[in-house]
Amino acid sequence: MSDIAAPKLVQASALRRALEDTPWRRIVILAGFALIWELYARWLDNALLLPTVGATLSALWSAILSGELPNRTLTSLRVLITGYAIGVAIAAMLTTLAALTRWGNEALGLFTSMFNPLPAIALLPIALLWFGVGTPSLVFVIVHSVLWPVALACHGGFLAVPPTLRMAGRNLGLSGGRFVVEILVPAAFPQILSGLRIGWAFAWRTLIAAELVFGVSARSGGIGWFIYTNRAQLETASVFAGLLTVIVIGLVVEGVIFRSLTRITVQRWGQVQT
Amino acid sequence: MNVAPRLAGLVGDTASPTLLGLDHVSISYPTRDGILTAVEDVSFTLSAGERVVLLGPSGCGKSTLLRAVGGFLKPSAGEIRMNGRRIGAPGPDRMTVFQEFDQLLPWRTVLGNVRYALERGKSLPRRDADGVARRWLERVGLKNFVDAFPHTLSGGMKQRVAIARAFALEPALLLMDEPFAALDALTRRQMQDELLKLCEETGNTTLFVTHGIDEAIRVGTRILALTPHPGRLAAKFDVPIEARSRGTAGFAELERQIQQTVFADPEIDHV
């Protein structure tokens, strides 16, 4: 057969690329938001209710320098990642089982519809009863908050894999775990990725809420505890600094980790256009 | 498989042993309104080196039959045997080229798709698989696209990858399920010619499903016509070598003959 020639591409101009690549509109919006906050806080002139942007940033800076905020953040992230990893691992086992057997399928369907609507934080009293005040209780509620949305997304993704692709895989003699890992998982990756994203957001919220509720002990508390104690001491600027940290970590995970993951996987494979 | 390419078509009927045998095969499956019989009592054999075409309108069960040979579904009655053994699960000895473009793995490049098939289907080590895959991609004219992802390719190019993948595994039997039906007319004709060339060069044994009479004559050495509801074998045609090129008198005559004997029924003249 004769060779098909590759298409030729021409580079766009440097300025155009720079404007396309940078999120400059977002930066403008963010600056506008900060400006309105600052002006309103100055007009209000009540640091107890609403500290200025400047006061918040300086509180954030000193909390970082003193090492308290980084420590709290690390504590939170450690608990979060433990719970997230366990939750995702259990979700992977359940959905593999569901993809391969009828019983597994029914069980997963039943459990997800039962437990997915249950807010993780509602399990906290039970967790405290079972595991006492401390990290295991936090991990337990996080696992619950991650497990069901991730399992649901994986399962939905597996079901949506085109029959032709399944047959193409089976045609090579693939079956069982290998079929799941090498065909179903990558084929369902757009849904799995969005499940991981939702799971992450749920876990993060659940963790902060749980920490706010019982804070563990002061020595090993996380960001939630940091916010809680500063509120009790009427250090509103520090409360805002804590909230800002929660937001920034959320943004970094979403904007850096998940976005790069999307770019090097499903976007490259043409499975989504975002 | 090692039959010299020019002989492949000639020796088909006499010398070659039976590769595939269908014995009174019926296939039915449950639907919401009851049990539907897609294929009823179909028997035929296929010898090594032959290219048999299952020809019929939509709904005649020809694709269902091909899936059963592929092992993707079980006949409800009768037997399908290959080399004397009953067909079981799908396997790389019966590679299928599907009509749908999504048969390629979107997360692997063109080269990756063929290489992966060789690694899994033939258990080739990666380096050998790479070489074989590159050779086949070059044969289907995709040398310049080995590193492209499938979603960047046109429909015709995706089918070329699927064809390269199927041929690379050197299946005992190549199954083609209307591989060109979703292509535009010009590309389809070109792909038919190129497929024919590959088949003749490799002496491949092929079972080809189509609803186009001209495609059937072009690619087949033997044509089995099916009628729908339920799918039954209606007629058999041998394609003489002189009828295989478009524009010849033999081609036109065979086309007319098939049209009249099989699809004369006005109800199915939409073919």
Q: What is the pLDDT of residues B157-194, one digit of tens each?
A: 899 999 999 999 999 899 999 989 888 888 888 888 88
Quick one: closest CA in B to A174, which residue? B120
The more confident residue out of B146 and A16 is B146
Whether residue A41 is contained in a domain is answered as no
- CATH for B11-93+171-264? 3.40.50.300
Whether residue A224 is contained in a domain is answered as yes
Of the ranges A112-126, A127-141, A160-174, which is most confident? A160-174
> Is A171 close to B197, i.e. CB distance below 8 A?
no
Whether residue A189 is contained in a domain is answered as yes
Whether residue A19 is contained in a domain is answered as no
On chain A, the residues whose CB falls within 8 A of the CB of B197 are 1
pLDDT at position B183: 86
What is the distance between the alpha carbons of residues B166 and B181, in angstroms, rounded to a whole number? 18
Q: Compare CB distances from A172 to B100, B117, B139 and report the shortest one's residue.
A: B117
CATH of residue A193's domain is: 1.10.3720.10
What is the distance between the alpha carbons of residues B37 and A59, in angstroms, rounded to a whole number? 76
Whether residue A130 is contained in a domain is answered as yes
Pick the residue of B74, B109, B120 with the most A CBs within 10 A to test the interface with A by mutation.
B120
Our count of domains for chain A comes to 1
On chain B, the residues whose CB falls within 8 A of the CB of A173 are 89-92, 120-121
Mean pLDDT for all residues in chain A: 87
User: Which of B7-16's residues contact partners 24+ apart within 8 Å by CB, and which partners?
Assistant: B7/B49, B7/B203, B8/B49, B8/B200, B8/B203, B9/B49, B9/B50, B9/B51, B9/B200, B9/B221, B9/B241, B11/B49, B12/B47, B12/B48, B12/B49, B12/B50, B12/B221, B12/B222, B13/B47, B16/B47, B16/B48, B16/B49, B16/B50
Mean pLDDT for all residues in chain B: 84
* Strand arrangement, sheet containing B34-47: B34-47, B18-31, B77-82, B85-86
pTM listed for this prediction: 0.81
Q: Pull the structure tokens for residue B256.
A: 């007319």
The number of angstroms, rounded, from the C-alpha of B113 to the middle of its chain's C-alpha atoms is: 20
pLDDT at position B271: 43
Q: Please tell me if residue B92 touches chain A, with a CB cutoff of 8 Å.
A: yes
On chain A, the residues whose CB falls within 8 A of the CB of B123 are none
Q: Is the pLDDT of residue A134 over 60?
A: yes
Whether residue A94 is contained in a domain is answered as yes
pLDDT at position A274: 43
Whether residue A44 is contained in a domain is answered as no
pLDDT tens readout for residues B81-137: 888 888 888 989 999 999 988 899 999 999 999 999 999 888 888 888 888 899 999
Confidence of residue A222 (pLDDT cuts 50, 70, 90): confident
pLDDT at position B207: 93
Whether residue A107 is contained in a domain is answered as yes
Amino acid occupying residue B73: L
Q: Please tell me if residue A172 touches chain B, with a CB cutoff of 8 Å.
A: yes
pLDDT at position B8: 41
Confidence of residue B269 (pLDDT cuts 50, 70, 90): very low
The more confident residue out of B265 and A40 is A40
> Is B107 close to A269, i.e. CB distance below 8 A?
yes
> Is A167 close to B92, i.e. CB distance below 8 A?
no
Q: Compare CB distances from B98 to A164, A173, A187 and report the shortest one's residue.
A: A164
Q: Please tell me if residue B150 touches chain A, with a CB cutoff of 8 Å.
A: yes
Q: Compare CB distances from B144 to A4, A174, A265 and report the shortest one's residue.
A: A4
pLDDT at position A216: 54
Q: Compare CB distances from B100 to A164, A174, A268 and report the shortest one's residue.
A: A164
Domain boundaries, chain B: 11-93+171-264, 102-170
SS3 B37: strand
Q: Please tell me if residue B147 touches chain A, with a CB cutoff of 8 Å.
A: no
Least reliable range by pLDDT among B15-24, B186-195, B202-211, B217-226 = B15-24
Domain of A96? 67-267
Q: Is the pLDDT of residue A201 over 70?
A: yes
